[in-house]
Every structure is written in C-alpha cells, then in structure tokens.
Chain A
Amino acid sequence: DSGVTQTPKHLITATGQRVTLRCSPRSGDLSVYWYQQSLDQGLQFLIQYYNGEERAKGNILERFSAQQFPDLHSELNLSSLELGDSALYFCASSVEGRPSNSPLHFGNGTRLTVT
C-alpha cells in the first residue's frame, strides 16, 4: 500500500457530463501529481500541485482542471466528457516539489468509463 488514496475506484458516466476525482496524498507529502493512462499507453502527465499551488503543467485539456486544498488533498475535475476521456487516472504524491528530489508514490487509480 503506497499510502495514496484515490476515490472512487470506478466511475461510469455519459458523454457531456462532469466528474470529480479525489486524491489524498501520503501523510507528510506536499506534492500531488495527476496522470492519465489510456489503454495500452504510458502515463501522461497532466498537472502537479505543491503545497496548494500549481507547480507544473503537462498535457491537460482545457476541459480538465485541478486544485489542491489546504489539507493537501487534491481533486481533478473533468467536464464535457468525451468517449476518448475513458482512461485510468492516477494520483501520485511526493514529499518535495521536484520529482528529482523525492520519488513519486502512486495510488491505485480511478477507472473512468465514458459511455
């Protein structure tokens, strides 16, 4: 168990809808990262927060947004969902703000299915 908690584990919704994925980092970790993993694909970096502030941004669509709250949990909001948004969404956390300073520890993901 990595100590990173993601909810829900599974989510099925329709096109055009909006969903919120939640992540609780490991105790003591200040950074939260979001990744998307599509079928047979690697992990695509979406966005990183460090102690409540956006630290790095990857290939995140404008329909997607995220935030990190004062208690350090994070939420990823996906709106106007399309079939192609179906994927596994992973959250990871680390102690420090740079991946090179402390390894990322991943949760078990939220599987999103858009029908």
Chain B
Amino acid sequence: GESVGLHLPTLSVQEGDNSIINCAYSNSASDYFIWYKQESGKGPQFIIDIRSNMDKRQGQRVTVLLNKTVKHLSLQIAATQPGDSAVYFCAESGHQAGTALIFGKGTTLSVSS
C-alpha cells in the first residue's frame, strides 16, 4: 500500500555540521516527493520538492536526493543552525487524479550550539 517512512525518529547534530535526514517510500507509482519542516506550534512549511525524473535538486542550504532504485529520499542541510531544529517530514504523491499527498512520521532534528 501507500506509505512513507523515515529511518530515524530523532537526529542530533552540532551547529555548523551537515545534517542528513532519510526517508524510505514504498509506492513505486509515486512520482513527486516533498520535504516539510514543522516547528513547534506551527503548520508544516514547504522546504523543497523533487519529481521522479530528477535525482537531485538543490535549494538554499538544502539538497534533496532521490534514489528510485531503492525507493529512498534524503534531505541534506548544510551548515545546520539552531533555527533548523524542527520536525522534518517527507511526503509522496502520484500523478493520478485523486492522489493525495501522503506523509511519513517525521524526524526530529535537534541542533545544539
């Protein structure tokens, strides 16, 4: 069935380190993937997305990598800052009409200074 999961529920890093948050998905029909950041008391905030015809996409301090062979998605955050502390969710969707955006359970990133 459709499911999106994450490898680790928590990740602790030092300020300035690079962070890598991983996500595994199971629906091979999914062709759109997206990362969200959720800070305490707020709704999820869009970070970056990628389509299945790409394997890498870069934003400001963030990079998303997609490996369709092993159904794996990762979010890399460069020079992690205390403000990056939040819960990170990956989500997937297919292209078909009526397809929802399905979220995984999230990884809590804690950045210590």
Contact = CB atoms under 8 A, between A and B. Distances in A.
Interface of A: 2, 4, 33, 35, 41-45, 48, 55-56, 58, 90, 92, 97-100, 103-109
Contact of A99 (B43, B45, B101, B104): B101
Contacts of B34: 99, 103-104
Interface in B34-60: 34, 36, 41-46, 49, 51
A99 B44 contact: no
A99 B105 contact: no
Closest 8 CB pairs of A and B: A106-B43, A100-B32, A99-B101, A99-B93, A42-B105, A43-B103, A45-B100, A56-B98
B102 interface: yes
Given A103-B34, A108-B42, A42 B99 contact: no
The prevalent SS among residues of B at the interface is loop
Interface residue tally on B, bucketed by range: 20 to 34
B104 to A, nearest CB: 6
A99 B103 contact: no
Contacts of A90: 43-44
Nearest to A9: B41
A106 B45 contact: yes
A100 B97 contact: no
A104 B49 CA distance: 11
A11 B97 CA distance: 34
B101 A45 contact: yes
